[in-house]
C-alpha cells in the first residue's frame, strides 16, 4: 500500500508547488527600517543595530531563494542617509565589505547574482571595490538577483533620467514623439529589471522614503511593526502569504 501512495503524494506535492509558484512575487523590494530603534531599546549603539540588521539580510536572502523569488531589492543606503553622523555613515559604508566577506561564498554556491542601483561612483573607494568584486564574481549567475540600493534616491534617479533623455533628444539619438513609459524606464537604474510585485517596509512606518517612486506604481504594499533586526524568514513568509491573497487589477476591474 505504501509503495502505491508515495508516487501519488509526490505528484500532488509537485502540483501544489506549481500552484504556489504562480502566486509568488517575482520581485520583492524591502525598506529595511528600525535598526536604530531596535538598538536604543536595548541600550546599544545604532551601529550595533546596523550590524544585527546585516545578519537579518542573510536570513532573508536564504528565505527568498527558498521561495523562488527572482529579484530581491534591499534599500541599504539612501542619498539622504549622508546627513547622519559621520561615525554612523562610516560604519554603514563598511558593512557591504563585512557582509560580502562572510556571505559571498554562500551566495556564489546558491547561484545568486549581486547587483546595485544608485550613484555607485560616489561611494567610498573600499566600498566600491568590495561590491564591484562581488558583482564581477557573480555576474554569470542566473539565480536570485540580490539588488542593493546603495546611495539611491528616486527623485534624483528620475531627474537624472530626464536630463539624459534631453541630451539624447538634442543629440538626435531618440525622438520626443517616440518617448513613452517603456523608453523612459530604460533610463532608470532599474533598466533590465522588472518592477517590484511586493514592497515590504518594517518598523511600523508607512511611507516610501524616496524609494522606487516610478517602479512602485502598481506594487502591492505590506507593512509590519516588526523592527528590521527582529525580522526573519517567518515574517517574510507571512508577507508572501498575504501577497498570494491579493488580486492585482492594474487599474482594471
Catalytic residue among 20, 68, 81, 230: 81
| pLDDT of res. 247 | 85
| pLDDT of res. 23 | 85
HSE, side-chain direction, 13 A CA sphere, residue 8? 5
Active site residue 81: yes
Spell out the domain ranges in the chain: 24-153+195-244
3-state secondary structure of 58: helix
Output the nine-digit C-alpha cell for 179.
518617448
| Most distant pair of Cα atoms in the chain: their distance | 75
Sign, CA torsion 233/102/112/218: positive
Active site residue 170: no
Show pLDDT as tens, one digit a residue, over the chain (253 residues). 343 443 434 434 444 444 444 589 999 999 999 999 999 999 999 999 999 999 999 999 999 999 999 999 999 999 999 999 999 999 999 999 999 999 999 999 999 999 999 999 999 999 999 999 999 999 999 999 999 999 999 999 999 999 999 999 999 999 999 999 999 999 999 999 999 999 999 999 999 999 999 999 999 999 999 999 999 999 999 999 999 999 888 777 6
| pLDDT of res. 22 | 54
| pLDDT of res. 248 | 82
| CATH 3.20.20.140, applies to 24-153+195-244 | no
Catalytic residue among 33, 47, 48, 147: 33
Rounded to whole angstroms, the Cα distance separating 135 from 112 reads: 10
Amino acid at each position: 500500500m505504501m509503495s502505491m501512495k508515495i508516487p501519488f503524494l509526490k505528484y500532488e506535492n509537485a502540483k501544489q508547488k506549481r500552484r504556489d509558484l504562480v502566486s509568488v512575487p517575482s520581485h520583492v523590494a524591502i525598506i529595511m527600517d528600525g535598526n536604530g530603534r531596535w538598538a536604543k531599546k536595548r541600550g546599544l549603539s545604532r551601529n550595533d543595530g546596523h550590524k544585527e540588521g546585516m545578519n537579518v539580510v542573510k536570513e532573508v536572502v536564504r528565505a527568498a531563494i527558498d521561495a523562488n523569488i527572482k529579484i530581491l531589492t534591499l534599500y541599504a543606503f539612501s542619498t539622504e542617509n549622508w546627513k547622519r553622523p559621520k561615525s554612523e555613515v562610516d560604519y554603514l559604508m563598511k558593512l557591504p565589505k563585512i557582509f560580502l566577506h562572510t556571505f559571498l561564498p554562500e551566495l556564489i554556491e546558491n547561484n545568486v547574482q549581486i547587483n546595485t542601483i544608485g550613484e555607485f561612483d560616489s561611494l567610498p573607494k573600499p566600498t566600491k571595490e568590495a561590491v564591484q568584486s562581488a558583482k564581477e564574481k557573480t555576474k554569470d549567475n542566473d539565480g536570485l538577483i540580490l539588488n542593493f540600493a546603495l546611495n539611491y534616491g528616486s527623485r534624483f534617479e528620475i531627474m537624472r533620467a530626464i536630463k539624459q533623455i534631453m541630451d539624447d533628444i538634442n543629440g538626435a539619438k531618440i525622438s520626443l514623439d517616440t518617448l513613452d513609459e517603456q523608453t523612459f524606464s530604460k533610463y532608470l537604474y532599474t533598466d533590465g529589471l522588472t518592477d517590484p510585485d511586493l514592497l515590504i517596509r518594517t518598523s511600523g512606518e508607512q511611507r516610501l522614503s524616496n524609494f522606487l517612486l516610478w517602479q512602485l506604481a502598481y506594487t502591492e504594499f505590506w507593512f509590519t511593526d516588526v523592527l528590521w533586526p527582529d525580522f526573519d524568514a517567518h515574517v517574510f513568509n507571512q508577507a508572501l502569504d498575504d501577497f498570494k491573497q491579493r488580486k492585482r487589477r492594474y487599474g482594471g476591474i
